[in-house]
Amino acid sequence: MGRNVISVVDANSFWVDAYFEETQLASIREGDPAEIKLMGYSQTVRGHVGSVARRINVSNARPNEQGLATVNPIFTWVRLAQRVPVRIRIDQVPDSVHLVAGMTATVQIDAGSARTAWSTLRASFGALHRMQM
């Protein structure tokens, strides 16, 4: 068996997964413009909403034999909104910004004032990823 001595990364294969609260999802649409601020850079990376995840894992709801969720009856009734991944496709990267998979980002989506009173939505701690080739 050989071992890897070099890795090649396509510089155009990056995206950001931003984790928005479920209460903000009704305002987000595929194609909405997004601004991405990477920790350590003052320049803004531009992109757009590529997709919204269709399923997340709920830690206290386990499927039973019929595939239906079994919710733990011992439950504190203080609920925090779930965080749902929103995939941001990158459209424009300033020349001085060097993307590295795993970087921390803050994402701001302009969801359009016609759809919500809070037209600008933020998700902190998005993660920069790259496609596996």
Q: What is the pTM of this model?
A: 0.70
Q: How many domains does the chain have?
A: 1
Say whether pLDDT at 110 is over 70.
yes
What pLDDT, on a 0 to 100 scale, did the predictor assign at position 73? 55
101 to 11, 89, 98, 120, 130: CA distances (angstroms) = 10, 14, 10, 26, 6
**Greater pLDDT, 104 or 83:** 104
Q: What is the CATH number of the domain that holds 91?
A: 2.40.30
What pLDDT, on a 0 to 100 scale, did the predictor assign at position 123? 58
Percent of the chain with pLDDT over 70: 67
What does pLDDT average to over the chain? 77
Residue 4 included in any domain: no
Residue 63 included in any domain: no
Residue 33 included in any domain: yes
Say whether pLDDT at 81 is over 70.
yes
| Inter-residue contact 130 to 11 (CB < 8 Å) | no
Say whether pLDDT at 87 is over 70.
yes
Across 17-26, 53-62, 80-89, least confident range: 53-62
- Identify which of 13, 2, 4 has the alpha carbon closest to the alpha carbon of residue 101: 13
Domain carrying residue 31: 21-53+77-130
Say whether pLDDT at 68 is over 70.
no
Residue 11's SS3 state is coil
As a residue count, the chain comes to 133
Residue 104 included in any domain: yes
Residue 65 included in any domain: no
